[in-house]
Structure 1
Amino acid sequence: MKIGIFFGGTSREREISFAGGRTVFDNLDKALFQPVPIFVDSLGQFILLDWQYIYKGTIRDFYPPVSALPPSVHHLQVYIESLGELSAEERAEAIAQVGRKVEAEQLPLLMDFAFLALHGPGGEDGAIQGLLEWLGIPYSGSGILPSAFGIDKIAQKNLLHALGRPTPGFRVIKAEEWDSTDHAATLAYLVRELGLPLVLKAPRQGSSIGVSILKTDDLAKFEAAIDKSLFRKTVTRADWQRLGEQDRIAWVQHLTDIREGIGLPVVINDETAPIYHPEALLTALTEALETAEAVLLTNVDGETQVLVESFVAGREFSCIVVEDPNGLPLALPPTEIVKGEEMFDYRSKYLPGLARKITPIDLPEAKIQEIREACEEMFRTFGFQVYARLDGFVAHDGRLFLNDPNTTSGMLPASFFFHQAAEIGLNPSQFLTYLIRTSLAARRRAGLRPVKLAQLLDTLDTAVAGRQHEATERIRVAVIMGGYSSERHISVESGRNIYEKLSSSAKYAPVPVFLTGSSDEHKLYVLPVNVMLKDNADDIREKIEHAEAGEAAHPILERIRREAGDITRTYAGQALAQPRRISFEELAQLADEVFIALHGRPGEDGALQQQLEQYGLPYNGSGVASSSITINKFETNKRLREAGLRVAEHRMANKLEWRADAESFYRSLETQFPYPFIAKPADDGCSSAVKKIKNRAELEAFCRLIFRTEEDLLAGPAEVLNLGFKEEFPRKDAFLVETLISRDGAAHFLEITGGLLTSYDENGQLEIEVFEASEALATGEVLSLEEKFLAGEGQNITPARYAPDPAERQRISNEVKAVLRRVAEVLDIQGYARIDAFVRVRAGGEVEVLIIEVNSLPGMTPATCIFHQTALAGYTPYQFIDRILEFGKARTAKAVPAS
Structure 2
Amino acid sequence: MNKRTGKLRVGVIFGGRSGEHEVSLQSARSVMRALDPAKYEVTPIGITKEGRWIAGDVMAALAEGADARPAALLPEPAHSGSLSLWERVGEREESAPHLTAITELDVIFPVLHGPYGEDGTVQGLLELAGLPYVGAGVVGSAVGMDKAIFKAVMEAHGLPVLPWQLVTRARWLREPEAVLDAVEAHLPYPVFTKPANLGSSVGISKCNNRDELRAGLAEAARFDRRLIVEQGIGRGDQRARELEVAVLGNDEPQASVVGEIRPRRAFYDYVAKYMAAPGSEDESELIIPAPLAPAQSDAIRALAVRAFQAIDSAGLGRVDLLLDDESGALYLNEINTIPGFTSISMYPKLWEASGVSYPELLDRLIALALERHREKMELETTIEPSALSPGGSGPAQGGAQ
| Partner residue in 2 for 1:582 | 71
Name the amino acid aligned to 2:69: R
Q: Is the aligned partner of 1:818 residue 2:284?
A: no
Match of 1:509 among 41, 55, 75: 41
Alpha-carbon separation, structure 2, partners of 1:645 and 1:742: 21
Counterparts of 1:602-641 in structure 2 under 5 Å? 602-641=116-155
Distance 1:516 1:818, change over 3 A: same
Cα distance in 1 between the residues matched to 2:186 and 2:224: 22
Q: 1:198-225 deviations in whole A, cap 9, x for unaligned?
A: xxxxxxxxxxxxxxxxxxxxxxxxxxxx
State the partner residue of 2:267: 782
Partner of residue 246, structure 2: 755
Q: Deviations over 1:503-558 (max 9, x none)?
A: x431011111111366xxx5321132xx5157xx4x45x33xxx3xxxxxxxxxxx
Residue 665, structure 1, aligned to residue 179, structure 2:
yes
Q: Which has the higher contact order (CA 8 A, sep 6+)?
A: 2
Distance 2:338 2:357 in 1: 18
1:140-539 aligned within 5 A: 472-502=5-35, 504-516=36-48, 522-528=51-57, 531-533=58-60, 537=62, 539=63
- 2:363 is equivalent to residue 871 of structure 1: no
Q: Tell me the equivalent position of 2:393.
A: none
8 Å CA contact 1:819, 1:849 repeated in 2: no
Select the residue among 780, 795, 800 that pairs with 2:285: 795
Separation in structure 1 between the aligned mates of residue 107 and residue 284 of structure 2, nearest angstrom: 33
Structure 1: give runs of 5+ residues left out of the alignment.
1-470, 548-578, 708-729, 760-765, 803-808
Higher helix fraction: Structure 1 or Structure 2?
1
Letter paired with 1:861: T
Q: Supply the distance in 2 between the matched residues of 1:853 and 1:749 (Cα, whole angstroms).
A: 15
How far apart are residue 635 of structure 1 and its match? 0.5
Partner SS state of residue 646, structure 1: coil
The separation in 1 between residues aligned to 2:140 and 2:309, in whole angstroms, is 10
Opposite residue 511 of structure 1, the aligned amino acid is T
**2:338 paired with 1:857:** yes
1:737 matched to 2:229? The reply is yes
What amino acid is aligned across from residue 500 of structure 1 in structure 2? R
Q: Decide whether the 8 Å contact of 1:756 with 1:834 is kept in 2.
A: yes
The equivalences for 1:66-145 within 5 A come to none
| C-alpha distance in structure 2 between counterparts of 1:685 and 1:696, whole Å | 25
Answer whether contact 1:789 1:864 (CA < 8 A) is retained: no
Which AA in structure 1 matches 2:6? E
User: What runs of 5+ residues in structure 2 fail to find an aligned partner?
Assistant: 75-81, 85-102, 381-401
Contact 1:820 1:835 in 2 (8 A): yes
CA deviation digits over 1:91-119, x for unaligned, max 9? xxxxxxxxxxxxxxxxxxxxxxxxxxxxx
Local SS of the residue matching 1:640: helix
How far off its partner does 1:602 sit?
A: 1.4
In 2, the alpha carbon distance for the partners of 1:620 and 1:668 equals 41
Q: Is the 8 A contact 2:261 2:285 kept in 1?
A: yes
CA contact (8 A) 2:197 2:224 kept: no
Return the alpha-carbon distance in structure 1 between the equivalents of residues 271 and 7 of structure 2: 36
- 1:592 correspondence with 2:106: yes
User: Deviation of residue 473 (structure 1)?
Assistant: 3.0
Aligned to 2:189: 675
* Aligned Cα root-mean-square deviation (Å): 2.4
CA distance in 2, matches of 1:812, 1:705: 36
TM-score of the aligned structures, taking structure 2 as reference length: 0.80
Please give the alpha-carbon distance, in whole angstroms, between the structure 1 residues aligned to 2:325 and 2:197.
30
**TM-superposed deviation, 1:617:** 1.0
| Cα contact 1:476–1:591 (8 A) shared by 2 | yes
User: Amino acid of the residue matched to residue 770 of structure 1?
Assistant: A
Task: Give matches, 1:802-841, under 5 Å.
Answer: 802=292, 809-840=293-324
CA deviations on 1:299-325 (whole Å, 9 max, x unpaired) are: xxxxxxxxxxxxxxxxxxxxxxxxxxx
Q: Which amino acid aligns with 1:785?
A: Y
Report the Cα offset of residue 810 of structure 1: 1.6
Report the AA paired with residue 299 of structure 2.
E
Amino acid in structure 1 at the alignment position of 2:358:
P
| CA distance in structure 1 between the partners assigned to 2:212 and 2:379 by the alignment | 59
Structure 1 vs Structure 2: percent identity of aligned residues?
Answer: 27
Query: Is contact 2:203-2:219 (8 Å) kept?
Result: no
Counterpart secondary structure, 1:796:
strand
Partner of 1:370: none
Rounded Cα–Cα distance in structure 1 between residues aligned with 2:16 and 2:301: 32
Whether the 8 Å CA contact 2:257–2:301 is kept in 1: the answer is yes
The code of the aligned residue for 1:584 comes to L
Question: Is the 1:758–1:832 contact (alpha carbons within 8 Å) kept by the matching residues of 2?
Answer: yes
Alpha-carbon distance in 1 for matches of 2:21, 2:345: 16
Pair 872,743 (structure 1): closer, same or farther in 2 beyond 3 Å: farther
Kept after mapping to 1: 8 A contact 2:245/2:255: yes
